[in-house]
Amino acid sequence: MTDRIFSVAIDGPAGAGKSTIARRAAKELGFIYMDTGAFYRTVAYAALSRGADPGDQAAVEQCLASMTVTPQWDADGVQHMLLDGLDVSTAIRSPQVSQSASVVASYAAVRDFLLDSQRRVAQSYAVIMDGRDIGTVVLPNADVKIYLTASAEVRAKRRWLELQQKQAPDTYEQVLSEMIERDRRDMNREVAPLRQAEDAVLIDSSDLSLEQSIQAVVQVISEAISS
């Protein structure tokens, strides 16, 4: 990992490949990669562990007062999530937690609770964060902002091919419909809606391979570092 402090915010819609591309770009550049989704998974796991219904906003907010959520990175740059000092990195990957994470992430109190810890990382390391409101809310002063997107049809096809490998019964039309609905929800939610920051570099990966997309992101960041 590099000792330089430099922050990169990558936003974009579901299925754009943000996490994979951000993780690979971070490794190539010697940055740490922050999985912001893991923070919301940790809060969801904490709520479930305390017997709170993730759909009960008041109950989740009550849990926030008695929990600490801290990220750590090992020597290989792999992120671990600590809940009250205990590593819950594996536990937060269950299907139940995944479903609950998207619910708690819609609560303004949860986002506010996690905001400081996410920003502290960006103040201490060279970091790439991806999400839907990184450049607009979490890191509005990021050194580099990228909006990574692709057409809904391309994103749906990529997702459908992944599901085919897992022998899932979903049809392409079903995946596309769900992708369009997810976009609508993300762009119109009251708290931190998905949108491109005014100073973000737009990268449309519709006609790019994964490797080409990674190199496009690396090039934008490298040029900013050397400027």
pLDDT digits (tens, 9 = 90+) for 14-47: 889 998 999 999 999 999 999 898 999 999 999 9
- pLDDT score for 186: 84
- pLDDT score for 106: 86
CA 134 to the chain's CA centroid: 8
Distance CA(143)–CA(120), nearest Å, equals 15
| Bridge partner list, 10 | 130, 146
What is the reported pTM?
0.85
Q: Domains along the chain?
A: 1-31+127-227 (3.40.50.300), 32-124 (3.40.50.300)
Distance CA(18)–CA(120), nearest Å, equals 22
Say what the alpha-carbon torsion angle 165, 168, 171, 174 is, to the nearest 10 degrees: -120
- pLDDT score for 2: 59
- pLDDT score for 207: 95
**Intervals of the chain under pLDDT 50:** none
Q: Which two tokens stand for residue 4?
A: 């330089």
